[in-house]
């Protein structure tokens, strides 16, 4: 019997993993410059954490969570998103007592049982950033700018920042009522899921990808008409900060987020290259979530970047050659193999990527292997070269060879490899 991976779960093979590492490295570099620190939370949380924060009427909670029971019958769930776990840690560990404003980021897998398609998997990975403790619009703008900087730094182009305001607990009920009335009059034009959503959670209808539903919501009431004065002023300030930073954005009054905890500012960074799954990143403000989960009344704002979707875009845009070893050591003879082995270890301790062939094969076979690996340089050393105290260093791009003094070999190699 041959085992295969579960549908919607994907192996990340060595060639692709290198691209993931570069994206994660870019994220850590960008986040550090904005003052964000990494937090790691468990994959498994109590089910109620997500049902309370995300909302019982969302598709995530009602259909998509991977839930199991422990020996006492208590529900535990593989995290479907990161924000609830970060907020739980923020409350449980009293992080707000250490610093009134916490800037946190995390990188890792999430799990949702939904239909796999391009850019969407049942185990998927996200880069998340959360700023807790600051109610001001400058934090909203900073998070959006940071997300754009990260994606541009990763090598993505032609992205569109869409922004909207979902209002607050004071002004959103008016919009919800108007939208519910509008949808009830057009119930027959909605899909079965949206008929249900139009009663329990009408804002979710904006997320539907069915053409008939998209047509209906395209003429739906705009939430911006219902915003109270404080929400209007907050959203106007967000736009001012983005404009001052020369970050282009699109006002999209039909943009909502799929989770119940969002308030005021919401945003998505979209592309036209991934079909229906056009959001590469998204987030917004969730001022009531900390209190909802048992903490103090602290505001917060955050976003998530879908790593698989970034990778799909990089496949389209990225024509960078895969990285190969800094050096391949072609050793000919037992004595040469032992010396090369020790030289390789010394260079590896200094973070150089060095490869060897351990099959005691001839030079021609070893050179073919070096070429196949994409090695930048090859050091050729045989027992005869050891006796003379000389080796050959071959540049694989230019095919130029030069003789090397083995007594000062490591010192020269460090310099040559450091400068390409």
Comparing 261 with 16, the larger pLDDT belongs to 16
pTM, two decimals, is 0.82
Give the pLDDT confidence score for residue 55 in this predicted structure. 78
Q: Write the DSSP symbol of residue 119.
A: T
To the nearest 10°, the Cα dihedral for 394, 400, 406, 409?
-80
> Tens digit of pLDDT for each residue in 214-225?
888 888 888 888
132-137 average pLDDT score: 94
Give the pLDDT confidence score for residue 396 in this predicted structure. 92
For the ranges 228-242, 269-283, 345-359, the maximum mean pLDDT occurs at: 228-242
Q: Which of 139-143, 152-156, 246-250 has the lowest mean pLDDT?
A: 152-156
- Determine what percent of the chain is predicted with pLDDT higher than 90: 60
Give the pLDDT confidence score for residue 316 in this predicted structure. 65
Give the pLDDT confidence score for residue 261 in this predicted structure. 77
Give the pLDDT confidence score for residue 321 in this predicted structure. 56
Distance of CA 395 to the CA centre of its chain: 37
The CATH number for 14-171+227-317, chosen from 3.40.50.720, 1.10.3720.10, 3.40.1350.10, 3.30.930.10, is: 3.30.930.10
Give the pLDDT confidence score for residue 23 in this predicted structure. 93
Give the pLDDT confidence score for residue 63 in this predicted structure. 83
Q: How confident is the model at residue 194 (pLDDT cuts 50, 70, 90)?
A: confident
For the ranges 100-109, 218-227, 382-391, the maximum mean pLDDT occurs at: 100-109
Domains in the chain: boundaries = 14-171+227-317, 327-414
Domain 327-414, classified CATH 3.40.50.800, yes or no: yes
Give the pLDDT confidence score for residue 117 in this predicted structure. 72
Give the pLDDT confidence score for residue 206 in this predicted structure. 81
Give the pLDDT confidence score for residue 177 in this predicted structure. 85
Rounded CA separation 406/411 (Å): 10
Does 201 have pLDDT greater than 90?
A: no
Does 295 have pLDDT greater than 60?
A: yes
Give the pLDDT confidence score for residue 1 in this predicted structure. 83
> Tens digit of pLDDT for each residue in 66-81?
999 999 999 999 999 9
The token pair at 129 is: 């950033």
Q: How confident is the model at residue 273 (pLDDT cuts 50, 70, 90)?
A: confident
Give the pLDDT confidence score for residue 58 in this predicted structure. 74
Can you list the pairs that 346-354 forms with residues at least 24 positions away whose Cβ atoms lie under 8 Å? 346/410, 347/410, 347/413, 347/414, 347/417, 350/414, 352/326, 352/327, 352/413, 352/414, 352/417, 353/323, 353/324, 353/325, 353/326, 353/327, 354/325, 354/326, 354/327, 354/328, 354/329
Give the pLDDT confidence score for residue 90 in this predicted structure. 96
Give the pLDDT confidence score for residue 259 in this predicted structure. 65
Residue 247 Cα distances to 29, 130, 159, angstroms: 20, 20, 11
Residue 317 Cα distances to 151, 256, 279, 311, 395, angstroms: 13, 28, 17, 10, 29
Does 320 have pLDDT greater than 70?
A: no
């Amino acid at each position: 019997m041959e085992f295969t991976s579960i549908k919607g779960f994907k192996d990340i093979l060595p060639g692709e993993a290198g691209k993931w590492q570069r994206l994660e490295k870019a994220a850590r570099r960008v986040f550090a410059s904005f003052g964000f620190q990494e937090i790691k939370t468990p994959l498994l949380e109590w089910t109620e954490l997500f049902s309370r924060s995300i909302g019982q009427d969302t598709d995530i909670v009602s259909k998509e969570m991977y839930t199991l029971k422990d020996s006492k019958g208590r529900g535990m769930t593989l995290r479907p998103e990161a924000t609830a776990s970060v907020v739980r840690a923020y409350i449980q560990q009293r992080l707000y007592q250490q610093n009134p404003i916490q800037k946190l980021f995390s990188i890792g897998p999430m799990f949702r049982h939904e239909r796999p398609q391009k850019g969407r998997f049942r185990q998927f990975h996200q880069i998340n950033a959360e700023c807790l403790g600051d109610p001001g619009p400058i934090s909203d703008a900073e998070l959006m700018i940071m997300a754009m900087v990260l994606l541009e730094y990763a090598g993505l182009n032609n992205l569109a920042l869409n922004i909207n305001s979902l209002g607050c607990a004071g002004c959103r009920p008016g919009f919800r009522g108007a939208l519910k009335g509008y949808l009830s009059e057009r119930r027959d034009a909605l899909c079965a899921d949206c008929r249900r959503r139009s009663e329990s959670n009408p804002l979710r209808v904006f997320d539907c990808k069915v053409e008939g539903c998209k047509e209906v919501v395209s003429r739906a009431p705009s939430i911006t008409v219902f915003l109270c004065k404080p929400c209007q002023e907050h959203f106007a300030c967000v736009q001012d900060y983005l404009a001052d930073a020369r970050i282009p954005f699109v006002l999209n009054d039909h943009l909502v987020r799929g989770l119940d905890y969002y308030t005021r500012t919401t945003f998505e960074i979209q592309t036209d290259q991934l079909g229906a799954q056009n959001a590469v990143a998204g987030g917004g403000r969730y001022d009531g979530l900390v209190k909802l989960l048992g903490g103090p009344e602290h505001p917060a704002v955050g976003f998530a970047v879908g790593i698989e979707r970034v990778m799909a875009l990089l496949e389209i845009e990225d024509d960078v050659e895969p990285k190969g070893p800094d050096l391949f050591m072609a050793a000919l003879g037992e004595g040469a193999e032992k010396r090369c082995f020790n030289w390789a270890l010394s260079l590896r301790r200094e973070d150089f990527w060095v490869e060897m062939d351990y099959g005691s094969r001839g030079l021609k076979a070893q050179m073919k292997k070096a070429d196949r690996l994409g090695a930048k340089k090859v050091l050729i050393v045989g027992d005869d070269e050891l006796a003379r105290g000389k080796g050959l260093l071959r540049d694989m791009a230019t095919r130029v060879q030069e003789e090397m003094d083995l007594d000062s070999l490591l010192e020269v190699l460090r310099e040559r490899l450091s400068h390409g």
